[in-house]
Every structure is written in C-alpha cells, then in structure tokens.
Amino acid sequence: MEEKTCLNCGEPVGPGRRDKKYCSEPCKTEYNNRQKEQKTPVAETRVPPFIGEINQILTANWKVLKDCLGTKDTCRMRVRDLSGRGFNFKYFTSERLNEYNDDVYYFCYDMGYKFVTINDEQKVVIVQNEQMVRLTGPAFQAAEADRLG
Ligand SMILES: [Zn+2]
C-alpha cells in the first residue's frame, strides 16, 4: 500500500488513523492557515469618489461632442455653445499634436477638438477620431474651410 504523505510538508504521515492527512499538529495548523489566506480575497484598492466624478464629466463631455458631430466627421461649434450644453473644458483624456501646423487637439476618448478664433469668436473644430488630426494638413484645411464655410 502506498504511504500517505502530509498535505503540508509532503513527509510520510506515519502510523495512525487511516484518514490522517498531516504528519503533525503544526503542519495541520500551517496548512489550514494557508488555505484560509488563499480564500481571503485580496483587498481591492479603493477608488476615491473624485475619480468617479471626473469619469462622469468625461462621459458627459463625450456625449456633447457626439451630439454636435451627429453623423459628420467634423464640425465647428462656438465655445460658449459647448459650455451651454454643459461641456467642461477642464477635463480631457489625451492631447494630440498636428505636426503640420502645431495645432493641439484635446481628446475625449475617441473624439477631439481644437480651439480656433474666427472673427474674434472662440470656436472649436471637433473631429471624429485621431486619424483626422493627421488628415488636417494644409490640403485638408483648405477643403475643411470650403466645407464648413
Ligand atoms: Zn507535515
């Protein structure tokens, strides 16, 4: 008959009851403690409330941009109109630089915008995705000017 070994240390359990699982009491205690540790879930890092609040702002911003764009790939909006819709310019997820003209685009996840001043009025040009930043070189901007008026 094959010799039973201790669940904790792997040594033979020696003589005793047939259902003996450990070579000694300390081994039994150690094994049980380890099982308990493994079952205790690792404490999750608590996310402070302000992170949730910022996520809500970003989500609201995203919806405003999406509403403005509709099915278009780009559009122009007055800054105050965006603010009027509850857009919060303080928060964005990333920045992209247009290497052609050094325009800085502020992204809210997939959509972005850049500030432009037209006839002394602060506006934003919203773009549908990052690819459009690279597309907005001189040729594109001429076409954009035609399209947006
Ligand atoms: Zn043991």
Structural domains in the chain (count)? 2
C-alpha 40 to ligand 1 mean position (Å) = 23
Residue 58 lies in a domain: no
% of the chain with per-residue pLDDT over 70: 88
Neighbours of ion ligand 1 (CB under 5 A): 6, 8-9, 23, 27
C-alpha 10 to ligand 1 mean position (Å) = 6
C-alpha 9 to ligand 1 mean position (Å) = 4
**87 and 133 inside one domain:** yes
**78 and 124 inside one domain:** yes
Residue 132 lies in a domain: yes
**84 and 34 inside one domain:** no
Amino acid at 81: D
Give dist(CA 105, CA 134) in Å, integer.
Answer: 11
Q: Is the pLDDT of residue 32 over 80?
A: yes
Residue 56 lies in a domain: no
CB atoms within 10 A of CB 18: 5
C-alpha 21 to ligand 1 mean position (Å) = 9
Q: Is the pLDDT of residue 149 over 70?
A: no
Residue 46 lies in a domain: no
**77 and 140 inside one domain:** yes
What is the pLDDT at residue 3? 78
Taking the model in full, what pTM does it have? Answer: 0.62
C-alpha 31 to ligand 1 mean position (Å) = 9
* 19-23, 36-40, 59-63, 73-77: segment of lowest average pLDDT: 36-40
pLDDT per residue as tens digits for the range 83-115: 999 999 999 999 999 888 889 999 999 999 999
Domain housing 86: 70-148
**77 and 137 inside one domain:** yes
C-alpha 42 to ligand 1 mean position (Å) = 27
**29 and 98 inside one domain:** no
Contact between 133 and 105 under an 8 Å Cβ cutoff? The reply is yes
Give dist(CA 126, CA 132) in Å, integer.
Answer: 10
Residue 53 lies in a domain: no
Angstrom CA distances, 67 to 48, 57, 72, 93, 111, stand at 30, 15, 10, 18, 11
Give dist(CA 117, CA 139) in Å, integer.
Answer: 20
